[in-house]
């Protein structure tokens, strides 16, 4: 089955700096890669996703890049703000309509004011 590895497990940045979180996946058939943000005590919520026919996608301060050859994808957050502090999960989904997700282990991002 699919295996998703995520790094780093913790990340601290100064407010205004950029943050980068990286994930690798094992199943070359995976073609959907979402990122979820989970604030303390809350539910995971989708913040951005990318499909295998796209190399990069951007939404305001967040962007995701995908390298299918190397089987890795990354989340980039620019101009970080204290409210960006949360746990971020990457995930990968095999082909098919179910979108069954395998999650990475999560990255605790702390933005220091």
Partner 1 sequence: DAGVIQSPRHEVTEMGQEVTLRCKPISGHDYLFWYRQTMMRGLELLIYFNNNVPIDDSGMPEDRFSAKMPNASFSTLKIQPSEPRDSAVYFCASSNPAAGGAEQFFGPGTRLTVL
Residues that bind partner 1 (CB under 8 A): 32, 34, 42-46, 49, 89, 93, 97-106
DSSP for 13-63 reads EETTS-EEEEEEES-TT--EEEEEEE-TTS--EEEEEEETT-SEEEETTEE
Question: Smaller CB distance to partner 1: residue 51 or 58?
Answer: 51
- Please, which residue, 27 or 49, has the CB nearer to partner 1? 49
- Cβ of residue 99: shortest distance to partner 1, in angstroms? 5
Q: How far is it, in rounded angstroms, from Cα 92 to Cα 61?
A: 22
Beta bridge partners of 81: none
**Shortest Cβ distance from residue 41 to partner 1 (Å)?**
9
Give residues with Cβ within 8 angstroms of 46, minimum separation 6. Answer: 34, 35, 36
What are residue 42's phi and psi, to 5 degrees? -115, 175
Nearer to partner 1 by Cβ, of 44 and 80: the residue is 44
Looking at the Cβ atoms of 80 and 93, the one nearer to partner 1 is 93
CB of 21 to partner 1, least distance (A): 14
Rounded to a whole number of angstroms, the minimum distance from the CB of residue 75 to partner 1 is: 16
């Amino acid at each position: 089955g699919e295996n998703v590895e995520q790094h780093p497990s913790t990340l601290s940045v100064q407010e205004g700096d950029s943050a980068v979180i990286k994930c690798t996946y094992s199943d070359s058939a995976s073609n959907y890669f979402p990122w979820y943000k989970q604030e303390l005590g809350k539910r995971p919520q989708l913040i951005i996703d990318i499909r295998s026919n796209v190399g990069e996608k951007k939404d305001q301060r967040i962007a995701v890049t995908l390298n299918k050859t190397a089987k890795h994808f990354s989340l980039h957050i620019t101009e970080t703000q204290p409210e960006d502090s949360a746990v971020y999960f990457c995930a990968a989904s095999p082909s098919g309509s179910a979108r069954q997700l395998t999650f990475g282990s999560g990255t605790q991002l702390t933005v220091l004011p």
